[in-house]
């Protein structure tokens, strides 16, 4: 009888977030199927809370936020988009709510010490190729070579550009190789058909393809360093938020930065932001190895110099296509 009583008590305690109620809207750039997986877990963890995700590309979400700011109120309560430079901008504009999460000490990456933003998922920019169409030894194994190999001219694709490590010369070299700027899905299709020999892309796009479709596409982790992008989680300050539900936003922040929340992130082919994570995403390099070999990025500089970087990119890349 005593044992049964303990089980009942454990069952009651197992869901500590039943007191979190109301609604939360989250703007995010995560894949739709990852959102579906996370949503299922959130329903179990927060049974009395309605969590609604609005998904869009980072550029789309930033444009949406700019438009909403004109009314001095956002259509969301939380954001899981972009990288630290955008968080720095929103903090500077006075849009964010500061919260010191109990899980911050377990993070392996930098976070805002005042609690305005935290890394929630680690994205990695890598190179990728199709071993059914090309040999790895015939391709670029570094980001630097990727922009210099004349034999790859007209056969490479990028989703974005590098700036901190290689500067303006890098953009010039990419333009000379007739690099194509296109969406990840288009680039992956060209890799599969052999139209593209090698692409620069987010690691998760290839890992997802390998696990879900048994694809033979392979990731090349550049020998001159991986571009690791800590995507952040932020809460909109109460008077500018959609549902004024700060208690729920803080509870969600704690969950996303917990082992359970990070497990959902890793299942979505992204790396955990916790120290000594138990798992890496499917078929991925170990997270600690990636962090050791990642390029240092000055996010403050990226934020402050954004317009200059955009102009440089457009000068050499956009006009080259």
What per-residue confidence (pLDDT) applies to 307?
A: 77
- Compute CA distances 86 → 45, 57, 67, 223, 271, whole Å: 29, 14, 16, 28, 20
Answer for the pair 191, 129: CB distance below 8 angstroms, yes or no: yes
CB atoms within 10 A of CB 298: 12
CB atoms within 10 A of CB 40: 11
What per-residue confidence (pLDDT) applies to 5?
A: 45
What per-residue confidence (pLDDT) applies to 183?
A: 82
Residues of the chain with pLDDT under 50: 1-13, 319-321
What per-residue confidence (pLDDT) applies to 182?
A: 83
Both structure tokens of 272: 């955990």
What per-residue confidence (pLDDT) applies to 306?
A: 75
Q: What angle do CA 301, 268, 289 make, to 5 degrees?
A: 60
In angstroms, the CA 209 to CA 217 distance is 8
| DSSP strand pairing (117-129 vs 227-235) | antiparallel
The owner of tokens 């392979």 is 218
pTM: 0.87
Q: What angle do CA 76, 81, 84 make, to 5 degrees?
A: 120
CA atoms within 13 A on the CB side of 28: 23
């Amino acid at each position: 009888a005593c044992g049964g009583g303990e089980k009942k008590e454990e069952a009651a305690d197992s869901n500590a977030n039943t007191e979190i109620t109301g609604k939360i809207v989250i703007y995010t750039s995560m894949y739709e199927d990852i959102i579906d997986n996370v949503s299922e877990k959130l329903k179990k963890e927060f049974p009395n809370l309605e969590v609604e995700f609005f998904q869009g590309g980072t550029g789309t979400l930033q444009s949406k936020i700019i438009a909403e700011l004109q009314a001095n109120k956002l259509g969301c309560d939380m954001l899981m988009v972009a990288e630290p430079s955008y968080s720095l901008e929103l903090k500077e504009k006075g849009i964010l709510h500061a919260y010191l999460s109990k899980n911050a000490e377990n993070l392996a990456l930098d976070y805002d010490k005042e609690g305005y933003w935290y890394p929630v998922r680690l994205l990695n920019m890598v190179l990728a190729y199709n071993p059914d169409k090309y040999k790895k030894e015939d391709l670029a194994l570094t980001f630097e070579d990727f922009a210099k190999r004349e034999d790859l001219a007209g056969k490479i694709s990028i989703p974005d550009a590098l700036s901190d490590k290689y500067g303006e010369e890098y953009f010039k070299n990419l333009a000379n190789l007739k690099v194509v700027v296109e969406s990840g899905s288009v680039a992956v299709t060209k890799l599969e058909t052999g139209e593209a020999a090698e692409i620069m892309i987010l690691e998760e796009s290839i890992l997802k393809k390998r696990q879900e479709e048994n694809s033979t596409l392979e990731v090349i982790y550049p020998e001159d360093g991986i571009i690791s992008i800590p995507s952040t989680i932020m809460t909109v300050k109460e008077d500018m938020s959609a549902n004024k539900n700060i208690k729920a936003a803080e509870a969600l922040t704690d969950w996303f930065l917990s082992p359970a929340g990070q497990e959902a992130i890793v299942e979505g082919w992204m790396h955990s932001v916790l120290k000594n994570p138990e798992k890496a995403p499917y078929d991925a390099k170990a997270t600690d190895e990636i962090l050791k070999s990642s390029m240092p990025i000055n996010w403050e500089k990226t934020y402050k110099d954004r317009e200059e970087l955009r102009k440089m990119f457009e000068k050499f890349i956009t006009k080259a296509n």
